[in-house]
Amino acid sequence: MTKIGLEIHCQLTKLESKLFCNCKADYRNLAPNSNICPICIGLPGSLPMLNKRAVEKAAMISIALGCKIPEKIGFFRKNYFYPDLPKNFQITQYNAYGPTSIGSEGKIAIEGKEIRIRRIQLEEDPGRLVYEGSSEKTQITLVDYNRAGTPLVEIVTEPDFESPRQVRIFLNILADLVENLGVSDPYLEGAMRVDGNISVEKGNRVEIKNVGSFRDIEKALHFEITRQQSLVERNIPIPAETRHWDEARKITVSSRSKEEEEDYRYLPEADIPIIQISANAVSVLQRTMPESIVAKKERYIKKYGIPPQVAEVLSSDKFYSELFEKAHNEKNAKEAANIITTDLMGFADTREKKLELKISAKHLSDLADGIVNNKITRNSGKHALQEMVKTGKSLSEIITALDLGHVSDVSSIEKIVDEVFKEEEKAVLEAKQNPDAVNYIVGKVMRKTKGKVDPSTTLEIIRKKLSS
């Protein structure tokens, strides 16, 4: 049986400052080595000052993943020499001598399957190595320490995944979860990075590192399953090793064997005193945390009668569920959810497009109200929405400008139906024989009114006229 475990590194991008100093946590798009200070480049004599907000955010992730939070947390030094690591040790957490990391023994359900979380730890991100040309051939490695010290949460799962598909589902849920908590923007480049380990039946555990994106981890895992199974079939032993994902060639490449793995000589970090976390602090945090996606989904279904699939899609998306929360009322909730999931999400499915949306909660609310109160048809609503998104104009402005007002009085509709009957004599005759042909006439009426008439009222009028 295939067993897959994951190590996910998630930056706490929503923090203002780095984990141990006041440099900006947002290191992106800055001149190299301009976001540094004596602490994050580890100058002699500097000391780390723990960012307490980072502990809080890491605790939120731990709670959301059902982890135990210990009464005392502490930090360890992981010692190894690497040019992106200014102190040549990384300040991280370590549970080998008792659980002192922010979370452990959690679980999360995906498609009815439980994935156990082994531990969650808070640590600092190293700097970044920049190669001149490709990393294989270059003579020169440049180091940018802007990222050094950025707060990072490492989430380690048990090897509970049975397929790359489960991994993808899990990662999507996790990305939505951290976004919903307001601790990270998982779609920023490098904000969420995944290493995997995988073994097939009769094989050793192989680690996969250097995977750039969620899509690639799925591909890398597929590649590994095929590679490992073909070895097993030929009775070739699978060595325990670390393999790197080669993004260009879409294959994994052996990097170093397990035996040579470094001894990290873990040591307690005495510069950061042990932090007491009271049960009370945890429960306060739990109460003040944003509502979970699961709870939100339940609420949408129970309170507003929103269909489960719609509720699922809406609750998982932080941006749209926040828009929904601001836009809906008791009466229009279902309609608002509908507009968002069937139309709006189609207009703007990427982060950039979402940011460009000119629609406000008030606009959306008005539109949902309009549909519920029969002021505008669903069909016209879609046109209005398109306009709102582009121009930011109010519903009433758009209705006037585009003449989208709902034609609801029977006499006006009757007049239009009469016109169509004159134009489409053949169709009328056919409809009299065959009731299914009525739809053609309804369509003609809709087209003539640019969708402003209510289809069911129209149908009723046509039927009446046909039978008279």
Residues that bind another protein (CB under 8 A): 38, 41-50, 77, 79, 81-83, 86-89, 97, 141, 143, 263, 265-268, 270-273
Q: Closest CB to another protein among 129 and 401?
A: 129
Q: Closest CB to another protein among 271 and 430?
A: 271
Q: Closest CB to another protein among 256 and 358?
A: 256
Q: Closest CB to another protein among 189 and 259?
A: 259
State in angstroms the smallest separation of the CB of 122 from another protein.
15
State in angstroms the smallest separation of the CB of 213 from another protein.
28
State in angstroms the smallest separation of the CB of 45 from another protein.
4
State in angstroms the smallest separation of the CB of 19 from another protein.
13
State in angstroms the smallest separation of the CB of 179 from another protein.
31
State in angstroms the smallest separation of the CB of 94 from another protein.
11
State in angstroms the smallest separation of the CB of 271 from another protein.
6
Q: Closest CB to another protein among 44 and 133?
A: 44
| DSSP state for residue 62 in the 8-state scheme | H
Q: Closest CB to another protein among 36 and 306?
A: 36
Q: Closest CB to another protein among 272 and 372?
A: 272
